[in-house]
């Protein structure tokens, strides 16, 4: 029994007349008769009783009629969902996120994608850089967001934006009177750095910039995430260098100032994905990321800070 035979059967069961059913199906009556006989032969039981006025359903025919509309409806639903999945309009997007990335840019990207494809389920996974890379290798996430991503075969890295860096200071710190902070102003100052992780990150970039400018980095705390870092700044433990998005953490007791440095100006936020992933959902999300990145390039030309 195939779908075509089920459609023929349903038309005849509803019309109870071969001529009317054939007209409804836009076909001649003899082929319809042959199809119904073939269906009865395949099932091994009569489905219709022939009468002078047309046909009547047998008990077997009534049992089949009770099922066929549901089968056809499920078949149509399966066809439609298959087409939607092929267009990336349904499915699931598993996203690896991290600390400061969720404070501004990533939510905007996810919101834009959700508006365009509301039927795609978005699952967020809070992972470190090393965990994101492993989750991508194991196909547990579709895409990740992070900074300073090391090159790896099979890994695609798409730049989202270059984010400016700022200095977070306790509000009572003498440097708060300045409009911007030079890196040299932080020579020997108590500093809180993050993330304290095995793979290179912002903490390593800060350490490298201090070294290249010949000034002393006085690390009093190394922490895992931006929220802990800014909270310690608010508590007066020291200053920090963080991203512009972190300024949305308006904790009492913290002031932010632009950073001026020859070697530490901004830091790239990237999205990571498997280059062999042919998922239409991933392709659609990358289109959103590329559109966002292009808009950022046109809206925010690179700044040229004095050396």
Nearest-angstrom CA–CA distance, 132 and 141? 8
Give the CA count within 13 Å in the CB-facing half-sphere of 125: 21
For residue 303, pLDDT over 60 is answered with no
224: number of Cβ within 10 Å: 13
Question: H/E element holding 243?
Answer: strand 240-243
pLDDT number for residue 297: 76
For residue 13, pLDDT over 90 is answered with yes
Residues sharing a CB contact under 8 Å with residue 242, sequence separation 6 or more, in sequence order: 100, 165, 166, 167, 168, 194, 202, 226, 229, 230
Q: Residue 256: pLDDT band by 50, 70, 90 thresholds?
A: very high
Residues sharing a CB contact under 8 Å with residue 223, sequence separation 6 or more, in sequence order: 192, 193, 194, 195, 196, 229, 232
Provide mean pLDDT across the span 278-305: 81
* pLDDT tens for each residue of 188-238: 999 999 887 777 788 999 999 999 999 999 999 999 888 999 999 999 999
Contact 142, 272 (CB under 8 A): no
Q: What is the CA radius of gyration of the chain?
A: 32
Provide mean pLDDT across the span 95-101: 83
Long-range contacts of 14-22 (CB under 8 A, 24+ apart): 15/54, 16/54, 16/55, 16/56, 16/57, 17/53, 17/54, 17/55, 18/54, 18/55, 20/54
Q: What angle do CA 31, 36, 40 make, to 5 degrees?
A: 145
| Domains of the chain and CATH, by start | 3-86 (1.10.10.10), 91-302 (3.40.190.290)
pLDDT number for residue 304: 40
| Average pLDDT along the chain | 90
Contact 167, 240 (CB under 8 A): yes
pLDDT number for residue 307: 30
Q: Residue 86: pLDDT band by 50, 70, 90 thresholds?
A: confident
Q: What angle do CA 297, 300, 301 make, to 5 degrees?
A: 80
Q: What count of residues does the chain have?
A: 307
* pLDDT tens for each residue of 16-31: 999 999 999 999 999 9
pLDDT number for residue 74: 86
For residue 267, pLDDT over 70 is answered with yes
Nearest-angstrom CA–CA distance, 43 and 288? 52
- Buried b or exposed e, range 42-52, using 16+ CB within 10 angstroms: eeeeebbeeee
Provide mean pLDDT across the span 240-244: 94
pLDDT number for residue 300: 57
Nearest-angstrom CA–CA distance, 166 and 257? 6
For residue 133, pLDDT over 70 is answered with yes
For residue 102, pLDDT over 70 is answered with yes
Helix (H, G, I), strand (E, B) or coil at 77: helix
* pLDDT tens for each residue of 21-67: 999 999 999 999 999 999 999 999 999 999 988 899 999 999 999 99
């Amino acid at each position: 029994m195939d779908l075509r035979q089920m459609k023929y059967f349903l038309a005849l069961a509803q019309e109870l007349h071969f001529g009317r059913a054939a007209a409804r199906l836009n076909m001649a009556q003899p082929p319809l008769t042959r199809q119904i006989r073939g269906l009865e032969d395949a099932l091994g039981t009569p489905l219709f009783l022939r009468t002078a006025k047309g046909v009547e359903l047998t008990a077997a025919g009534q049992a089949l009629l009770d099922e066929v509309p549901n089968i056809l409806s499920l078949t149509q639903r399966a066809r439609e969902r298959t087409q939607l999945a092929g267009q990336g309009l349904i499915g699931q997007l598993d996203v690896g996120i991290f600390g400061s990335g969720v404070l501004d840019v990533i939510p905007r990207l996810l919101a834009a994608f959700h508006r365009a494809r509301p039927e795609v389920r978005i699952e967020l996974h809070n992972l470190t850089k090393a965990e994101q890379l492993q989750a991508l290798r194991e196909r547990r996430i579709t895409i990740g967001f992070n900074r300073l991503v090391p090159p790896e075969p099979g890994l695609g890295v798409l730049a989202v934006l270059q984010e400016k860096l700022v200095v977070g200071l306790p509000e009572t710190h003498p440097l708060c009177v300045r409009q911007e902070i030079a890196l040299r102003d932080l020579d020997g100052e108590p500093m809180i750095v993050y993330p304290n992780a095995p793979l290179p990150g912002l903490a390593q970039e800060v350490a490298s910039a201090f070294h290249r400018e010949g000034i002393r980095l006085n690390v009093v705390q190394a922490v895992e995430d931006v929220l802990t870092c800014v909270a310690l700044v608010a508590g007066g433990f020291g200053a920090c260098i963080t991203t512009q998005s972190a300024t949305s953490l308006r904790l009492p007791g913290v002031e932010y100032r632009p950073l001026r440095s020859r070697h530490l100006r901004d830091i790239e936020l990237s999205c990571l994905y498997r280059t062999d992933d042919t998922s239409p959902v991933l392709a659609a999300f990358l289109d959103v990321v590329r559109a966002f990145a292009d808009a950022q390039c046109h809206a925010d030309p690179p700044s040229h800070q004095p050396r």
